[in-house]
Amino acid sequence: MSTTTSPSARKGVDWAGLGWLLLFFWYFSGVTQLLILLTGTTGFAGFRDAFFLSSLWLAPVLLLPRFTRGISAVIGLVLWGASLVGLSYFGIYRQEFSQSVIFVMFESNTAEAGEYFSQYFSLWLGLALLAYTVVAILLWRRIRPVSLPLSTRVPVAVLLVALNLVYPFYKQMVTQERSFAEALEKVQQRMEPAVPWQLVVGYAQYRQQLDNMQKLLEQNASLPPLRNLQDSSGEAPRTLVLVLGESTTREHMHLYGYPRETTPNLDALAAEGHNLTVFQNVVSPRPYTIEVMQQILTFGDEQNPDRFLTDPSLINLMKQAGYKTFWITNQQTMTKRNTMLTTFSQQTDAQFYLNNQRNQNASQYDGVVLEPFEKALQDPAQKKFIVIHLLGTHMDYRYRYPEQYAHFNDRQGVPSALSDDQVETYNFYDNAVLYNDFVVSSLIKRYAATDPNGFLLYLSDHGEDVYSSGNHDRLGRNEGAPTRPMYTIPFMLWTSSSWQAAHPRDLQAAAKRPYSSSHLIHTLSDLAGLSYDRFEPVKSLVSPQFAVAPRWIGDPYKKGGLHDFDKLPPTQAAPQQEIVKDLRSPATAQVPAATKPNEG
C-alpha cells in the first residue's frame, strides 16, 4: 500500500503564517504598549506581558485551523473594541489605562464615562483610531490557517494556556509562597497590560471592592456610638446645611479673584456684611468624587484612608447628636444603586434623588434641588442636618446650565493661546460656574429667608483644570499628573446672626489658613459645637487650636502616591496682556436673571 504525506507535513511548520497570527493578536495590546514604552511612560514589563499574553489567542486557531479566519475575526473584534479604550486614554492623558480608571468610571456611572468621551474626543483622535482600525483589518486579511498534526497542536495549545494562566499561579504560590488571594492579585496585575484583561480584571476588582464596601458599611451602621459626645448648643432648635459642589475650581470664580464675573451673586453676598466668610486657601485631597467623599464625610484622610470603613461617618455623628438628616442629590441616580454615594445617602433619614435621566448629557440642572431644600427646611424636626449634592460644573460643562446662562461666548478674558475649540470649552465651563453661582447663592438666600439658627457650608468635592495651568493645555483631572486647579476648591460659610451670637468666633481671622477638606468632619463638628473623644481641634479650620499641617494629595494606596500640595508648581497664569478683564460692574454686566426652581 502506498502512503501519502500531507502538504503541511511536507512543508513543515508555516512559521510565516504563525507570525502573522501572533502579530494580529498582539497588535491590539502591542500598539498602546509600544507607545507607552517609546514615550518613557513606563518600563518594558507591560510590553513584555502584553506580548506573551497575546500568544494565548493562538490556542483556538491552532486547535481548529479550518476556522482560523472566522475565529480570528471574532477574537479580533473583541480585542479591537477593548483596545480602543486604552489607546484613547493614552492619546488623551499620555498614561497607561489601569484598573483605577475602571473603578472611577464605574463609580461615576456609565453616563459620566460617556460624557468624558464626548468631551475629550477630537478629530485627530478619531483619525488616529480610524487608521488603527484599518491596519487591524489589513493584518486580518494576511491571516491564513496554520495546520499542525493533531498530536502536536493539542499539546501546543495546552502549553500556551498553561504558560499564560497556570504557570503564573504556580510561580506565585509555590516559588514565591504566596496565598491564592495574593497570587491572584499578582497574576491580575500581570494580565492588565493586555486587552481585554484590563477591562475584565478592572470590573472584577470593582465588584469585589463594592461588595466588600457594602459589607463593611453595613457594619459601620452598627458601630458603637462616639464616646463622650457633647453638644454645647443644648436643645436649641437649629438647621445646619452642607452643600457639596462638583468639579468647581476656585480659580474660575470671580469671588476668588478670577477676572471674569462668574460669581455676581456670591460677590454681592460677600459684600453685604459678615454673614458670609470666604476661605481662601482650601484644597481637596483627591480629584475624584468617590475618593473625596470617603474622606470629607468620615474620619478618613490621606494618611488614614480606610477609616471611612471602620469609623462612624458624619451622618452617623449627626444622627447620634439628635439631628434629623436629609440627603438631596442631583447626581444621577437611575436606581438606588450600591455605590458609595448611595450608601452614604442611605444612612440619612430622608433622601431626595432628583436625577433620573437615562443620559446624563441632558438638561438636568442643579436648580431642581431648591424645591426639596425648601421642603426640608419646613420639616418640623427641631434639629436638622441637610446635605445637598450638586452636579456643579461637572463635564460635559455645556449641560450644566440653561440657555439663559450662556453669558460667556467670546475670547474676552480667555488665554490667547487657546484654539477655537478650547475657547468654546473654556466658555462652557465659565457659564457652568455662573449658573453654579446662582444655585449656591439661591440656597443661601432661601436658607436665610427662614431666619434660621445655624450655618450653611459650601465646598466643592475637587477642582478642575480648564486650560488654567502650564501651557494652558490641561483639561479635566488626572491624579497621575496633578496641577493646582484640580485641587483648589471654593470653601465658604454663611452663618445666621443668631448662630453667631450663640457661637461667637472670629471667622475672618481663619479665612486664609491653609487647609485640606479631608479633615472637614472636625471643622463641621467644631462649628456645630460638638465634641467627642475622636474630635481633633487642631484639624478644625475655625478652631483657635488649629495647626498648620502638610496638605497631602494623591493615591494613598499607591507606594509613593502621596504628594505635598504646597510643593506643586504654581499655576502659570497667562501674560497680563492675554487676560482682558470684563470692566463692567456687577450692576451693569449682562447676568441672566434667576430661574424658577422648577426650571432646573
pLDDT digits (tens, 9 = 90+) for 43-53: 677 788 888 88
Are 416 and 534 in a shared domain?
A: yes
Among 203, 223, 256, the domain boundary falls at 203
CATH of the domain at 376: 3.40.720.10
Using CA atoms, how far residue 364 sits from 68, 191, 330, 353, 459, in Å, is 49, 40, 8, 12, 21
pLDDT of residue 494: 98
For residues 418 and 279, membership in a common domain is answered with: yes
Q: What is the pLDDT of residues 165-215, one digit of tens each?
A: 888 888 888 888 888 888 887 887 788 788 888 778 777 766 776 676 577
Residue 589, pLDDT score: 34
* Three-state SS annotation for 509-530: HHCCCCEEHHHHHHHHHHHHCE
Domain end, chosen from 148, 182, 203, is at 203
Rounded Cα–Cα distance for residues 108 and 95 (Å): 20
Q: Which residue has the cell 460635559?
A: 396
42 CB-contact burial (10 Å; exposed 0-12 / middle 13-18 / buried 19+): middle
Angle 460-464-467 (CA atoms, 0-180°, nearest 5)? 150
CA distance 490 to 392: 12
Indicate whether 397 belongs to any domain: yes
All three cell numbers of 303, joined, read: 494618611
In this structure, of 35-49, 137-151, 298-312, the range with the lowest mean pLDDT score is 35-49
In this predicted structure, the answer to whether residue 287 has a pLDDT above a threshold of 60 is yes
- The mean pLDDT value for 89-117 works out to 60
pLDDT at 6 exceeding the cut of 50: no
Lowest pLDDT segment from 29-43, 56-70, 77-91, 301-315: 29-43
48 assigned to some structural domain = yes
Instruction: Decide: 79 and 47 in contact? Cβ < 8 Å.
Output: no
Quickly count: other Cβ atoms within 10 Å of residue 218's Cβ. Answer: 10
Quick check: is 537 in a domain?
A: yes
Q: Is residue 2 part of a domain?
A: no
The answer to whether residue 157 is domain-embedded is yes
Same domain for 519 and 590? yes
Mean pLDDT of 114-142: 83
Q: Which domain holds residue 274?
A: 232-599
Among 183, 203, 223, which residue terminates a domain?
Answer: 203
**164 and 45: one domain?**
yes
286 neighbors 554 (Cβ within 8 angstroms)? yes
Could you write out the three-class secondary structure of 45-69? HHHHHHHHHHHHHHHHHHHCHHHHH
Tell me: do 415 and 536 sit in the same domain: yes
Domain co-membership, 186 together with 317: no
pLDDT tops 80 at residue 220: no
pLDDT at 525 exceeding the cut of 80 = yes
Q: pLDDT class for 600, splitting at 50, 70, 90? A: very low
Tens of pLDDT, residues 533-554: 999 999 999 999 999 999 999 9
Question: What does the alpha-carbon distance between residue 386 and residue 348 come to, in Å, rounded to a whole number?
Answer: 9
Q: Are residues 195 and 238 in the same domain?
A: no
Q: Please say if the pLDDT value at position 377 is more than 90.
A: yes
Same-domain pairing of 501 and 448: yes
In a domain, 162, yes or no: yes
Question: Residue 309: its pLDDT value, please?
Answer: 80
SS3 content of the chain, % helix, strand, coil (to 5): 50, 10, 40
Q: What is the mean pLDDT of residues 124-136?
A: 91
* pLDDT, position 2: 44
Q: What does residue 557 show for φ and ψ, rounded to 5 degrees?
A: -90, -5
Most confident of 106-110, 162-166, 430-434: 430-434
Which helix (DSSP H) or strand (DSSP E) does residue 326 occupy?
strand 324-332
What dihedral angle (degrees, nearest 10) is formed by the CA atoms of 71, 75, 80, 86? Answer: -160
Q: What's residue 114's pLDDT?
A: 61
With CA atoms as reference, report the closest residue to 462 among 306, 257, 251, 206: 251
> Which pLDDT band holds residue 120 (cuts at 50, 70, 90)?
low
Percent of the chain with pLDDT over 90: 54
Name the domain count of the chain.
2
In a domain, 221, yes or no: no
- C-alpha grid cell for residue 569? 508648581
Average pLDDT, rounded, for the chain: 84
Q: Are residues 177 and 255 in the same domain?
A: no
Do 411 and 339 share a domain, yes or no? Answer: yes
Average pLDDT on 261-289 reads: 94
* Higher-scoring residue by pLDDT: 88, 227: 227
* 227 located within any domain: no
| Closest by Cα among 374, 339, 375, 332 to 354 | 332
Number of helices followed by number of strands (H, E) in the chain: 21, 15
Q: Are both 153 and 242 inside the same structural domain?
A: no
On whether both 392 and 521 belong to a single domain, the answer is yes
